[in-house]
């Protein structure tokens, strides 16, 4: 079964809007795991507009499933990750001012940079994943820079799902086959939700993990967090 990692950035966004500690990010992470999530994902950005550096340190001892830290590998980010030592780090090529991650890595243009960053994380026994699009050349080159996994950026699948789901999923299924051939583990994330998740999981071979935040937290406002996590897990059961 594909693992579900819950991105709790939106919990932190709501907390930061008012100040104080409501909702409690730490309690939310504990509850997500208690309700069945198999991982917790955070994406600390330099401006700390949602997850703060202090949250990352506070979360480390209470994440008993899998801790996944996403972000652009700046000097400060690398320092944070190597101190916290999560099970996985996901490298995302987003500049500080973007609203949300909106592109995958060019692993050819950034080959030397990514190779050096991945080597440093491997020295700390941290599994690496690279946020990437479905371009087969980029996936093949990701294997050359020694990353353990790639995370497919699924925005285009979600955007086109209602028009033609078979056509929308095909580039991702093809990309998954390429990733398998070059020995890369496969994750996916961005705009996956209760409408499109099951079809995606059914059609993507060797999908190890999905990271879902915005849609899941929105659903939880109406359905409750425990029920929502169970609904997402049900979508991943083949």
The pLDDT of residue 96? 61
Task: Calculate mean pLDDT across residues 216-228.
Answer: 98
Q: Is the pLDDT of residue 102 over 90?
A: no
**199 touches 167 (CB < 8 A):** no
Q: How does the average pLDDT of the chain come out, rounded?
A: 96
Judge whether 136 counts as a catalytic residue.
Answer: no
Domains and CATH numbers, the chain: 3-236 (3.20.20.70)
- 214 catalytically annotated: no
- Residue 26, pLDDT > 70, answer yes
Are the C-beta atoms of residues 185 and 148 closer than 8 Å to each other? Answer: yes
Q: DSSP 3-state assignment of 224? A: coil
185-198: pLDDT as tens digits: 999 999 999 999 99
Out of 66, 151, 190, 209, pick the active-site residue: 190
Asked if 173 contacts 205 with a C-beta cutoff of 8 angstroms, the reply is yes
pLDDT beyond 70 at 85: yes
- Average pLDDT (39-51) is 95
Res 98: pLDDT: 55
Selected residue with higher pLDDT from 29 and 1:
29
Q: What is the pLDDT of residue 97?
A: 59
Catalytic residue among 43, 133, 151, 209: 43
**In this structure, are residues 114 and 121 in contact, taking their beta carbons and an 8 Å threshold?**
no
Q: Characterise 150 by phi-psi region: left (phi > 0), alpha (psi -120 to 50), beta (else).
A: beta
pLDDT for 99 beyond 70: no
The answer to whether 190 is a known catalytic residue is yes
Q: What is the share, in percent, of the chain residues with pLDDT greater than 90?
A: 95
Which of 66, 70, 151, 209 is catalytic? The answer is: 70
Look at residue 28 in the predicted model and tell me its pLDDT. 98
Instruction: State how far the Cα of 20 lies from the Cα of 173, in Å rounded to an integer.
Output: 44
d(CA 7, CA 192): 12
Residue 119's pLDDT band (cuts 50, 70, 90): very high
Q: How much is the average pLDDT of 53-61?
A: 98
């Amino acid at each position: 079964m594909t693992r579900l990692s819950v991105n709790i950035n939106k919990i932190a966004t709501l907390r930061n809007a008012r100040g104080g500690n409501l909702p409690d990010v730490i309690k939310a992470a504990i509850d997500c795991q208690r309700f069945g999530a198999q991982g917790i994902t955070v994406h600390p950005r330099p401006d700390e507009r949602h997850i703060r550096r202090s949250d990352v340190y506070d979360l480390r001892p209470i994440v008993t499933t899998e801790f996944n830290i996403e972000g652009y590998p700046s000097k400060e980010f690398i320092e944070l990750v190597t101190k916290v030592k999560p099970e996985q780090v996901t490298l995302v090529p987003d500049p500080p001012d973007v609203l949300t991650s909106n592109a995958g890595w060019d692993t050819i243009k950034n080959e030397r940079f990514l190779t050096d960053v991945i080597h440093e994380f491997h020295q700390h026994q941290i599994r690496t994943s690279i946020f990437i699009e479905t371009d087969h050349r980029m996936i093949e080159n990701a294997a050359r820079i020694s990353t353990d996994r790639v995370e497919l950026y699924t925005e285009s699948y979600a955007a086109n799902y209602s028009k033609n789901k078979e056509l929308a999923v095909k580039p991702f299924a093809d990309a998954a086959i390429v990733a398998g051939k070059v020995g890369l583990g496969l994750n996916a994330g961005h705009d996956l939700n209760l409408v499109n998740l099951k079809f995606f999981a059914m059609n993507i071979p060797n999908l190890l993990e999905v990271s879902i935040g915005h849609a899941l937290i929105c659903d939880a406002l109406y359905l409750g967090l425990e029920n929502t996590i169970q609904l997402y897990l049900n979508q991943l059961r083949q």
